Structure 1
Amino acid sequence: MNSVDAAGLGIGDDHPPRIMGVLNVSEESPYDPSVYDDPGEAAQYVDEELIGAGADIVDIGLESANKRFDVLSAEEELDRLHIALETIDHVSGEAIFSIETRYASVAEEALERGFDMVNDIAGFADPEMPVVCADHDVAVAKMASPPDLERPGAVEETPWSERKSPEWAEQAGYVDQVYEALKQNGMTDKTIVDPAFGGWSEAQTLADDRETFRRLREFRALGQPMLVSINRKNFLGELAGRDTDERLPVSLAATSMAVERGAHVIRTHDVAATRDAALIGNAFTERACAVTDGVSVSRLDVCSSSDLRAYLSERGVDPSVADDWSTIALEIDGLDTDARATVAAVVEDASPGVQYVDSEQPLVVGSKTDISDVVTRLRAETDDTGALAESFAEMIE
């Protein structure tokens, strides 16, 4: 899993969950408490309700992305940018400031005048967006979207038959489309993926959002940190029968679960409570990595065969390996050629239920009992594999 440096703020598995508070300078935005058009009042809100409540990042939106409203042009967004810039000037607290936009020209202007990162709700539909972000060496959140600046989040409207294949388009479900949308148009080294929760299109259903949330771990296979925006969303409110102003409890429950399932940034209007929920989720998250003599062994965060399939597919390995799914998958990094051959041979001679998957970062997949057999055999090999055996043992404790 890659970690991202957002203007000095670490984002990834090696860092605590980060909270992204929201400020809107667009009068059409639907959530009134976060909407301001006066820089002084906006700055006070940021200092007291966002940074003061624990926000690491402040995301400033220049327009509402709600599909009910007309899309502003880049020029119209630039006309509103001065309010955001004046707000930053008035803020006394310390935070990373993110500009929410779909336009590379707006992002570039914002970055040159004080913003630290970008939140691209159109998933690099503007082909210059990744170029601008890479040139400025900034973190960028990329939301799953079609290649259409006017339809952010509407992944079903992507011409999948053309971009993938007719066969893939016929078989793919909604979550598969979200996953592939995040891969379209590439990523920068500092990309943070966002699986696009919310009613971004008429075709997107609450069931789609719930299935995306259920399979959230699969997005970790992309190897980049993940942002989720689930605060008071309909797919949660419907489950509890709650209106928007009553959805804080369900949002907090989902926040803890999202962090446990791999989210690194939580975008929210309820900063203080969300921060607490994220910390609880993080405290009970089981991810592990052992490093010995420059070789790291990580226990992959896979809890289902579909999770494992996502990892295998990203490595160019036949995902059918996951059909004989068992509970533990270990990823090895840093082995030299001889050690790789030794591990492969040991696994081949071990219990039939354990498998060695040869790729750039090899996998050893099997049950705890099967991998324990591998540990015993590695310990009996040479001193070179003894340390690796102990790392394996640590991962299956």
Structure 2
Amino acid sequence: MTTVTAGDLPIGPGHPPRIVGVLNVSERSPYDPSVHTDPASAADHAADLAAAGADVIDIGLESANRRYETLSAAEECERLEVALGVVDRVDADVAFSIETRYAEVAAAALDGGFDMVNDICGFADPEMAPVCRERDAPVVTMAGPDDLDRPGVVEAIDWASERSPAWAEQADHVDRTVAALERDPLTEQTIVDPAFGRWSDAQTLDQDRALLARLGELRALDRPILVSLHRKSFLRELCDRSTEDALPVSLAATALAVARGADMIRTHDVQATADAATVGAAFAAAPAQAPGRDVRERLVRSVDAAERECRRVGADPVSAPEMVARTIELDVDASARERLAAAAPSAGVTVAAGSDGTLLSGSPAAFQRLADRVDAPAGLASDLAWIADTLATPTDRPESVVSIE
């Protein structure tokens, strides 16, 4: 997994989750406490964010909210003076990030003292990647189409042409999000952002929830992951909270996101978010890695994730259905247990039969072979085929248990 460095700040696996405090110099920001258009006030707020525990301060020159018209690069450059003034005024051990969709603005910011770029349009400006690569600057790329006016709208990509009509038909929002990030010209210092939020009318709250549940699948991109969950509608609706009362749900989601692989959390509430991220990191499932050896575990929980890992290393994804081991429980009689035990070894399924139940463990492909081979009543064979199909499908509950009675 790639580690990137912003200034002197390492970001990625093996390092604490990094907290990105938000400062907006645009009056159109949807969250008023982060808005500071006066240079002195903006610098004071940045200093407060650093004192609260921010590792990075992300300065936005305009609102990315789709309700507003997009500023031009020239208009952003006019506002950049305030942002550059913040960098000059603030004496704190933090990295500074400029949020922009334009390479011209990114270049001016990096040359003026900024450490990294937050590109909300995912390299839609074809010069953005070269600008960041030439300066060896980290850049966050958000999933979306090659369109400077439509950040985050992964549904706008013509997936039938990009991949295939069959892929476009079966792919869900998480698949499309990962694919959108795969298609960008990622630099060695790229951080990926899966674009939580209602970036279009087509994006649903359930899609955001599935994205959070399956966030770990982005690890196949081999890049640090940034998430922006602050008071998002898909979290507020779960607990029927207003934006003002949504800090607790944001903190719960932060802990989950870090436990599932997020390396950076963008937030307006720095101190509380830092605490939530620390809790998430303490309970994260860390992949095994041999010290001093080039050996490391990949956390793969679905066939789709296995296919991405295969593509990452240049392997044929045909082996993916054999790479995901899952355990299920069956409530069957003694005769069925004997038949399962007889057929399981040749199918590649492990059976553990006890007085109170039967456990089966194997890959989706192994369960399908067992369904085809076992000499069992039609109902049991059908259950096994259903299990194989279910385990091959990504789940919105990464730690789910399949139990058949």
Q: TM-score range by the shorter chain?
A: 0.7 to 0.9
Give the equivalent residue in structure 1 for 2:285: 286
> What does residue range 206-221 of structure 1 map to in structure 2 within 5 Å?
206-221=205-220
**Residue 198 of structure 1: how far off its partner (Å):** 0.6
CA offsets, 1:29-70, max 9 Å, x none? Answer: 11000001111111111112x101100000000000000000
Query: Structure 2 regions of 5+ residues with no counterpart?
Result: 328-344, 350-360, 364-405
Give the equivalent residue in structure 2 for 1:233: 232
Give the equivalent residue in structure 2 for 1:312: 310
Letter in 2 for 1:61: G
Query: More deviation in 157-166 or 209-218?
Result: 157-166
Give the equivalent residue in structure 2 for 1:301: 299
Letter in 2 for 1:105: E
> What does residue range 1-397 of structure 1 map to in structure 2 within 5 Å?
1-48=1-48, 50-291=49-290, 294-319=292-317, 321-324=319-322, 325-326=324-325, 353=348
CA offsets, 1:48-104, max 9 Å, x none? Answer: 2x1011000000000000000000000000011001111222212221000000000
Letter in 2 for 1:144: A
Query: More deviation in 176-185 or 130-139?
Result: 176-185
Query: More deviation in 172-181 or 299-308?
Result: 299-308
What percent of counterpart residues are identical? 54
**Residue 319 of structure 1: how far off its partner (Å):** 4.0
TM-score normalized with structure 1 length: 0.80
Letter in 2 for 1:155: V
Letter in 2 for 1:308: A
**Residue 323 of structure 1: how far off its partner (Å):** 3.0
**Residue 366 of structure 1: how far off its partner (Å):** 7.1
For the Cα contact (< 8 Å) 1:231–1:251, is it kept in 2?
yes
SS at match of 1:286: coil
CA offsets, 1:191-241, max 9 Å, x none? Answer: 000000011111111111111111101100000000000111001111111
What RMSD in Å do the two structures reach over aligned CA positions?
2.1
**Residue 316 of structure 1: how far off its partner (Å):** 4.0
Which has the greater radius of gyration? Answer: 2
Distance 1:104 1:304 in 2: 37
Distance 2:144 2:69 in 1: 17
**Residue 154 of structure 1: how far off its partner (Å):** 0.8
For the Cα contact (< 8 Å) 1:227–1:266, is it kept in 2?
yes
Letter in 2 for 1:16: P
Distance 1:82 1:288, change over 3 A: same
Letter in 1 for 2:313: R
CA offsets, 1:8-27, max 9 Å, x none? Answer: 21111110100000000001
Distance 1:95 1:353 in 2: 52
SS at match of 1:60: strand
For the Cα contact (< 8 Å) 1:4–1:12, is it kept in 2?
yes
Distance 1:181 1:309 in 2: 16
Give the equivalent residue in structure 1 for 2:339: none
For the Cα contact (< 8 Å) 1:3–1:13, is it kept in 2?
yes
TM-score normalized with structure 2 length: 0.78
Query: More deviation in 169-178 or 118-127?
Result: 169-178
Distance 1:93 1:229 in 2: 23
SS at match of 1:145: coil
For the Cα contact (< 8 Å) 1:104–1:129, is it kept in 2?
yes
Letter in 2 for 1:165: S
Letter in 1 for 2:305: D
Letter in 2 for 1:195: P
SS at match of 1:67: coil
Distance 1:41 1:180, change over 3 A: same
Distance 1:57 1:351 in 2: 54
Distance 1:186 1:173 in 2: 23
Distance 2:143 2:287 in 1: 28
Letter in 1 for 2:70: V
Query: More deviation in 169-178 or 143-152?
Result: 169-178
For the Cα contact (< 8 Å) 1:305–1:323, is it kept in 2?
yes
Distance 1:167 1:319 in 2: 16
Query: Structure 1 regions of 5+ residues with no counterpart?
Result: 329-349, 355-364, 368-397
